[in-house]
Amino acid sequence: MLRVVCFLATLWMSVAAAVAEPASGRAGVRWQGWSDNVFERARRENRLVLLDLEAVWCHWCHVMEEKTYGDPAVIKLLDARFIPVKVDQDSRPDLSNRYEEYGWPATIIFNGQGAELAKRDGYIPADEMAALLARLVRNPVPEETAGARPVSYSRDAFLSASLASELRAKLADGYDTRHGGWGTSPDGQKFLDWDTVEYCLARARQGDRQCERMARETLSAQLKLIDPVWGGVYQYSTHGDWDHPHFEKIMSVQAGNMRVYGLAYMLWKDPAYLRAAERIHDYLKTFLMSPDGAFYTSQDADLVKGRHSTEYFKLDDARRRARGIPRVDKHLYARENGWAIEALACLHAATGDKAYLREALRAADWVVSNRSLAGGGFRHDAADTAGPYLCDTLAAGRAFLSLYAVSGDRRWLTRARQAADFLAVHFKVDGKNAQGAGLSTADAGRSPLGKPLAVLEENVAAARFLNLLYHYDGNKADRRLADEAMRYLATPEIARQRHYLVAGILLADAELASEPVHITVVGGKDDPQARLLFLAAISYPAAYKRVEWWDRREGPLPNMDVEYPEMRKAAAFACANNRCSLPVYEPQGVAAMVDRLSGRL
């Protein structure tokens, strides 16, 4: 007993000394990268593990690096009793998805067995961090948190009527009628949630005036977050309005906005929406396109790390460049490239401009050449320490399917099919792995923190991709896997996670319950009139659509569920509501044909 007391006293004296004494001659925290043996080392050396999960573009991450991790007391504590690990969350989707609710920076402290002792979100001042570290050294016991309740996952691959009604009400109630966008907190963030606006576009196309108003007001408000000098979209605005932007430009925001503005332009032909999409494209081409045509990841919010750049972003192009350009993260991730490719394909569909398609194809060829894995999947970076991750193959599969839809080139449908096969092998939850429903964010065999999670956003994207692929290729395995993702989404505890940002679940549910708009152009791919018909088909204002170009010389379509007559000249056919149209021979008649068939006229 005496030895224990002496040990504890000695330990506390060393901790107190570490807090009190400045670190002389030390440059800073000696960060390490994440490794699978970090917990083994922690046990061996009787240390704890601190994970600083940062975003390289994030202002408050820079502030915390300078202020908190530059503090002598914090440095000495970490050096004495911790293994400090710094990870860029963009580089590790498994860790990012596990801790995304904590925001960036996220701070997680583990014991040597890998158990979480404490979790914090956002900036932590130095004195608070030193106190937290010292307390956990004295008493390395997990903080009390609300325990995770067992979840009984839905047996049905669709929302119950009551849950669907609840989610629709949440979406409507969460709308900010004063400022536009969703969320009414006076200190909340404003941004364009692309799933929410896309859902409203789909509803508006069906005559829902409330959804049309919400979508239009939000699209107009979001224009304030487009950089007036360089283009591109700032990530969000604070203070509950659209006038206080945070200036980082990350690929998910650029691609999501470019795609949604393209869809809105298809529906309403508002030139402001097209201009917005074009300004985002201009930014990507100038700042985030690599010499090989692939896309970089993000651009920093700060010109000087940790210092707000509000005055900088008020300058014109010449004066900005005279001061320098915020850092661009030049990692070339498969996920981010997939997002960009899908958005470029949408912009090509909206405009018919071949330049967008050429850029999308160039990036897709780069991804195939530089990020492919055996079996049809894709790694995240040039080398992955813990992949494969669901997000990369999923984003690539969606990109390839979108390329097939806007080009008619069957090699891209083959690539999408192979990506779906890879998802089924590596990420399907079978009850023994992860959570029992949905697709998991990482391969279970490579996760350093136990069973990988299933993530709501990824399962929305997976359900929609796999269901649409099923309609294109007729492979029932795709639909079964889509249903697995939808079972996860249809579980009430999951569906209620995100308050009013529930539109992705509603989109997935609506699409799995219906047939996509189906337009087929019959004619040679060297026939100019057939090409004009195809351009009219891909520009039809519906995101959930199946567009095919049947050149008989290529053999039957992959899913030949409709028989088309022999034609003397190129023609377009539409199928909807269990019936098909007569042939249309002129491009200007395609949209009217589909509208009549789907009951919009």
Residue 11: what pLDDT?
35
Residue 15: what pLDDT?
35
Residue 26: what pLDDT?
45
CA 19, 21, 26, 28: dihedral to nearest 10 degrees? 20
Tell me the pairing of strands 328-329 and 517-522.
unpaired
Kindly calculate the radius of gyration of the chain based on its CA atoms and give it in whole angstroms: 26
Amino acid at 96: S
Question: CB–CB of 356/261 below 8 Å?
Answer: no
Average confidence (pLDDT) per 10 residues, the chain, 601 residues: 35 35 56 89 96 93 95 96 95 89 89 93 95 96 73 92 97 95 91 96 96 98 98 96 96 98 98 98 98 98 92 97 97 98 98 98 98 98 90 98 98 98 90 66 72 91 98 97 97 88 96 96 97 98 97 95 90 84 94 85 52
Rounded CA separation 294/251 (Å): 12
Residue 444: what pLDDT?
67
Rounded CA separation 352/345 (Å): 10
Rounded CA separation 159/166 (Å): 10
Residue 217: what pLDDT?
98
**CA count, 13 A, side-chain hemisphere, 536:** 23
Backbone dihedral region of 474: left (phi > 0), alpha (psi from -120 to 50 degrees) or beta? left
Residue 450: what pLDDT?
66
Question: CB–CB of 99/108 below 8 Å?
Answer: yes
- pTM (2 decimals)? 0.91
Rounded CA separation 420/465 (Å): 9
Rounded CA separation 288/341 (Å): 13
Rounded CA separation 185/38 (Å): 40
Q: 175 to each of 196, 214, 256, 406, how far by Cα in Å?
A: 10, 8, 20, 33
Residue 34: what pLDDT?
87
Which pairs with CB-CB distance under 8 Å and at least 24 residues apart come from 513-516? 513/158, 514/544, 515/471, 515/575, 515/576, 516/468, 516/471, 516/542, 516/544, 516/545, 516/546
Rounded CA separation 508/467 (Å): 9
* Structural domains for the chain: 2-138 (3.40.30.10), 169-512 (1.50.10.10), 517-598 (3.40.30)
